[in-house]
Amino acid sequence: MSYKTDILSLNMSQLEKELDGLGCKNFRAKQIYQWLHTKLVDSFDEMTNLPSDLRVALDDRYDISPLTLVKKLESKEDGTIKFLFKLRDENVIESVLMTYEHGNSVCISSQAGCKMGCKFCASAIGGLKRNLTVSEMLSQVYYIQKVSGKRVSNVVVMGTGEPLDNYHNFLSFVKMITDEYGLNISQRSITVSTCGITPKIEKLANEKLQINLAISLHGATQEKRESLMPIAKKYPLAELMDACQYYYNMTKRRLTFEYNLMAGVNDKNEDAMELSKLLANRNCLLNLIPYNMVDIYDFQRPNKKSIINFKNKLEKNGINVTIRREMGEDIDGACGQLRRGSLE
């Protein structure tokens, strides 16, 4: 199937070059870019300060909206909203809007499916279908901001997929979502979560961006991590921690380590001790995530007392630790529950 050119994925300089071929002056590129990335229009007809013949020419050559809303679910517990979007090729992705006192946060997907195969995560179900384009990532944020009427202040790339496995498009997304001519979201308000592709962590460090990096750890030893996350066999824990230190050295941004607490798996006293040793003397935050149930897996969430005890042991060892506030669990919108959605 052939499509028109994806105009929403073009940054300002790329758009200028593209429009030069249509005989347009540079100021038209800025106008069009702002219609797309600030006013968030869905059609060229809405670009009222453009000549009508230019709008027709643009509509003949370019596509704007790569997503179609299939379903929207709202949590009765905390107001979190999950969006199920269909892509042009019939793949389906999920995004989540979470409202906090400090602002509105959108969790987006970076791939349709995921090939990392983490043993506890719903995103791995069905494997990887493909990377998302820049426009497909941007459009998740744009659609949610437009229909909710709420300014998006924070973006977390923690939905379906491994962002650093889609490195080029992810990097372009970050640069465009923080562009002064677009939504102009602060880099410090962008968080990306990775399962630990160490060469890409180092490559990202060299960009010297001010985004937040979150590492999906989930095991404090090589053996434990391998049993939960196949990626650990290719990129061992020691190598990952070296890459994390390099990221901090290059950006001076405190890292977050995410630790999914699973009863009887990684919540024992020895796990707390190993975790304390691993993170000692690092400028980091440890985010404990009580396991969110996924129907096809047998993992269980520890009880509240066990979770608090685990946290207390870490704090006594000098680790800066928090317990993640879970949102959207009743609509399968919490951490680890997003998957390449179904139309069923």
Amino acid present at 179: D
- 340 domain-assigned: no
Please say if the pLDDT value at position 344 is more than 50: no
- 289 and 276 both lie in a single domain: yes
| pTM for the predicted model, two decimal places | 0.92
The model's confidence at residue 77, banded by pLDDT at 50, 70 and 90, is confident
The string of pLDDT tens digits covering residues 266-287 is: 999 999 999 999 999 999 999 9
335 is catalytic: yes
Number of domains making up the chain:
2
Structural domain containing residue 44:
5-63
- 153 and 78 both lie in a single domain: yes
Whole-number Å distance between alpha carbons of 118 and 146:
33
- 336 domain-assigned: no
Residue 258 DSSP label: E
Please say if the pLDDT value at position 156 is more than 80: yes
Output the CA torsion sign for 161, 165, 168, 174.
positive
- 338 domain-assigned: no
- 108 and 253 both lie in a single domain: yes
- 21 and 79 both lie in a single domain: no
The string of pLDDT tens digits covering residues 207-240 is: 999 999 999 999 999 999 999 999 999 999 999 9
244 is catalytic: no
- 90 domain-assigned: yes
- 284 domain-assigned: yes
- 35 and 74 both lie in a single domain: no
- 311 domain-assigned: yes
CA dihedral in degrees (259, 261, 265, 269; nearest 10)?
Answer: 90
- 22 and 99 both lie in a single domain: no
Active-site hit among 24, 118, 121, 335:
335
Active-site hit among 94, 136, 162, 258:
94
- 177 and 245 both lie in a single domain: yes
- 25 and 153 both lie in a single domain: no
